[in-house]
């Protein structure tokens, strides 16, 4: 028999619940609710559950004589059974709304943009004192999330390293789709929030931004983070950058990823006198990914890929050995759509992408919902393998 437990099941909003010395205290979210239960022999459980006589009651006093008679006929014993609801039970919204003080509760941050394992928040200043706690709750409540960051909007003179700060989880800012061996071309790199962590992972990066101020801070960040050997910066229009990127990587290959530090067991082997030295890893000539984070217009730049590898654009270089159908780069393009339904949004984005490329995109195409930016505006990231036929098309 179930009791009307839902009326007990809420967390008081704006109560500051869950905070102890400014830290998240998960124990405070424990709620024990007594439930009125009927104890019967196992073989009678089904009869009780299916009986039309049994309805929801919240109190023993509410039970009608009909129910009491029925229970008696089934030799059921009425007992009070406590059910415990803990931190794991509540949603991130329940918890965040409970933690924040009353005056901040109304505009509490509830959404976040999600890129791979990273959740990006954009907290307003009044929520910053609670940033680590909010980050922790989001991390706890989203199983695929390993890193929660807060985007910092201002670029000023002191701000030279990162435009995001870690709130909770692992300091791994590179989305898993990149391997350390990869070469990444970041067409709209900004000050490098993507390019620099990718290089820290071992990727070689061609990073570009048309804005001279972004470019200036990009180069400063590259130096500051000591990834000069792996990141090359450019200040060009995105379309020109795409047209030049393949030839640049071919003519002046990028360095191999730094060798990972050998493990202790490997060190011993390496010291053995007859162990030959490891062959140097080859320099990298082939671009594996294009990142295009300019959601308003990035799709419009996709026509720059048309014929980009054809001999007439490649200036006599034969790039066909380097890029075959399976090894064409993946393009990750941020964009907006007014379609709210997933299937319609995907169809809309696909149609615009294919129109610009002049070719269809194949099976390796995925649509990643990033966030809602306005009531009728959704942000997505579409990833697709650059069609071989589009890149080698002759005019
Ligand atoms: C949305 S920001 C993305 C920056 C960064 N990738 C990030 O994730 O924070 C877009 C960037 O594209 C740059 N941009 C705008 N138009 C461009 C163009 N035609 N060519 C190259 N970069 C451009 C802007 O200066 C800006 O830094």
The tens place of each residue's pLDDT in the chain, 395 residues long, gives 444 555 566 777 777 777 887 788 888 888 888 888 888 888 888 888 888 877 666 567 778 888 888 888 888 888 888 888 889 988 898 899 888 888 887 878 777 777 668 888 888 889 999 999 999 999 999 888 888 988 765 544 333 334 568 899 876 665 667 899 999 999 999 999 889 989 988 999 999 999 999 999 999 999 999 999 999 999 999 999 999 999 999 999 999 998 877 777 777 777 777 777 777 788 999 999 999 999 999 999 999 999 999 998 998 899 999 999 999 999 999 999 999 888 899 999 999 999 999 999 998 898 887 778 888 899 899 999 999 999 999 97
What was the pLDDT predicted at 295?
Answer: 95
Residue 144 lies in a domain: no
CA distances 394 to 54, 123, 310, Å, are: 76, 48, 6
- Tell me whether residue 238 is annotated as binding: yes
**To test the ligand 1 pocket, which listed residue (122, 175, 190) has its Cβ within 8 A of the most ligand atoms?**
190
CB distance 250 to 285 below 8 Å: yes
- Do 95 and 178 belong to one domain? no
What was the pLDDT predicted at 2?
Answer: 45
**In angstroms, rounded to a whole number, what is the distance separating the alpha carbons of residues 84 and 259?**
51
- Do 370 and 251 belong to one domain? yes
> What is the token pair recorded at 148?
């929660």
* Segments forming the whole domain that contains residue 49: 5-99
Tell how far the Cα of 196 is from the centroid of ligand 1, in angstroms.
15
What was the pLDDT predicted at 188?
Answer: 97
User: Which of 99, 127, 146 represents a domain boundary (last residue)?
Assistant: 99
User: Which residue's CA is the closest to the ligand 1 atom numbered 17?
Assistant: 210
Residue 78 lies in a domain: yes
* Residue 116 φ/ψ region, left for φ over 0, alpha for ψ in the -120 to 50 degree band, beta for the rest: left
Residue 108 lies in a domain: no
- Do 304 and 217 belong to one domain? yes
Residue 155 lies in a domain: no
Closest ligand 1 atom to 190 CA: 27
Residue 160 lies in a domain: no
- Do 258 and 371 belong to one domain? yes
User: Which residue's CA is the closest to the ligand 1 atom numbered 4?
Assistant: 190
Tell how far the Cα of 295 is from the centroid of ligand 1, in angstroms.
9
- 363, with CB counted inside 10 A (0-12, 13-18, 19+), is exposed
User: Which of 99, 128, 153 represents a domain boundary (last residue)?
Assistant: 99
User: Which residue's CA is the closest to the ligand 1 atom numbered 25?
Assistant: 211
- Tell me whether residue 156 is annotated as binding: no
Residue 33 lies in a domain: yes
CB distance 198 to 205 below 8 Å: yes
**To test the ligand 1 pocket, which listed residue (199, 210, 236) has its Cβ within 8 A of the most ligand atoms?**
210
> What is the token pair recorded at 333?
């393009």
CB distance 19 to 25 below 8 Å: yes
Tell how far the Cα of 293 is from the centroid of ligand 1, in angstroms.
7
User: Which residue's CA is the closest to the ligand 1 atom numbered 19?
Assistant: 237
- Do 200 and 320 belong to one domain? yes
Total count of domains within the chain: 2
- Do 178 and 283 belong to one domain? yes
Tell how far the Cα of 138 is from the centroid of ligand 1, in angstroms.
28
Query: What is the Cα Rg of the chain in Å?
Result: 29
User: Which of 79, 99, 119 represents a domain boundary (last residue)?
Assistant: 99
Tell how far the Cα of 75 is from the centroid of ligand 1, in angstroms.
73
- Tell me whether residue 210 is annotated as binding: yes
- Do 179 and 311 belong to one domain? yes
- Do 88 and 224 belong to one domain? no
Which DSSP letter does residue 2 get?
Answer: -
Closest ligand 1 atom to 209 CA: 22
The CATH code of the domain that includes 208 is 3.40.50.150
What was the pLDDT predicted at 172?
Answer: 66
- Do 209 and 301 belong to one domain? yes
Residue 114 lies in a domain: no
- Tell me whether residue 274 is annotated as binding: no
- Do 91 and 177 belong to one domain? no
What was the pLDDT predicted at 9?
Answer: 66
CB distance 98 to 18 below 8 Å: yes
**To test the ligand 1 pocket, which listed residue (151, 162, 174, 188) has its Cβ within 8 A of the most ligand atoms?**
188
- Tell me whether residue 237 is annotated as binding: yes
Residue 47 lies in a domain: yes
User: Which residue's CA is the closest to the ligand 1 atom numbered 10?
Assistant: 294
User: Beta strands 118-121 and 183-186: pairing type?
Assistant: unpaired
Ligand 1 shell residues, CB under 6 Å: 188-190, 193-194, 208-211, 214, 237-238, 293-294
- Do 274 and 386 belong to one domain? yes
Return the half-sphere exposure (C-beta side, CA atoms, 13 A cut-off) of residue 307. Answer: 7
Tell how far the Cα of 58 is from the centroid of ligand 1, in angstroms.
59
- Do 178 and 295 belong to one domain? yes
**CA-closest candidate to residue 171, choices 139, 203, 142:** 139
What was the pLDDT predicted at 169?
Answer: 87
């Amino acid at each position: 028999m179930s009791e009307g437990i839902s009326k007990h099941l809420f967390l008081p909003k704006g109560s500051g619940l869950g905070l102890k010395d400014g830290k998240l205290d998960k124990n405070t979210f424990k709620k024990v609710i007594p439930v009125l239960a009927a104890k019967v022999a196992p073989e009678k459980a089904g009869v009780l559950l299916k009986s039309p006589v049994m309805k929801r009651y919240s109190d023993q006093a509410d039970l009608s004589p009909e129910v009491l008679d029925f229970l008696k006929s089934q030799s059921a014993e009425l007992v009070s059974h406590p059910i415990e609801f803990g931190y794991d039970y509540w949603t991130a919204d329940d918890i965040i709304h409970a933690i924040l003080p009353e005056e901040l509760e109304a505009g509490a941050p509830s959404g976040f943009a999600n890129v791979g394992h990273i959740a990006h928040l954009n907290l307003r200043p009044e929520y910053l004192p609670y940033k680590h706690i909010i980050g922790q709750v989001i991390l706890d409540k989203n199983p695929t999330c390993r890193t929660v960051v807060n985007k910092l909007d201002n670029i000023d003179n002191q701000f030279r390293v990162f435009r995001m700060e870690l709130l909770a989880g692992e300091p791994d800012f590179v989305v898993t789709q990149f391997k350390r061996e990869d070469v990444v071309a970041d067409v709209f790199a900004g000050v490098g929030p993507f390019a620099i962590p990718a290089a820290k992972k071992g990727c070689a990066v061609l990073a570009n931004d048309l804005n001279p101020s972004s470019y200036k801070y990009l180069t400063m960040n590259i130096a500051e983070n000591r990834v000069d050997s792996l990141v090359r910066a450019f200040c060009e229009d995105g379309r020109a950058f795409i047209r030049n990127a393949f030839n640049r990587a071919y003519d002046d290959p990028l360095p191999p990823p730094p060798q990972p530090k050998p493990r202790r067991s490997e060190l011993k082997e390496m010291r053995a006198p007859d162990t030959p030295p490891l062959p140097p890893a080859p320099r990298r000539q082939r671009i594996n990914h294009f990142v295009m984070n300019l959601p308003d217009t990035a799709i419009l730049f996709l026509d720059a890929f048309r014929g980009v590898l054809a001999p007439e654009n490649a200036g006599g270089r034969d790039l066909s050995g380097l890029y075959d159908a399976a090894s064409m780069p993946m393009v990750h393009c941020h964009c907006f759509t007014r379609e709210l339904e997933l299937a319609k949004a995907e169809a809309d984005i696909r149609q615009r992408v294919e129109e610009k490329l002049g070719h269809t995109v194949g099976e390796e195409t995925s649509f990643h919902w990033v966030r809602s930016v306005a009531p009728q505006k959704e942000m997505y990231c579409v990833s697709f393998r650059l069609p071989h036929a589009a890149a080698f098309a002759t005019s």
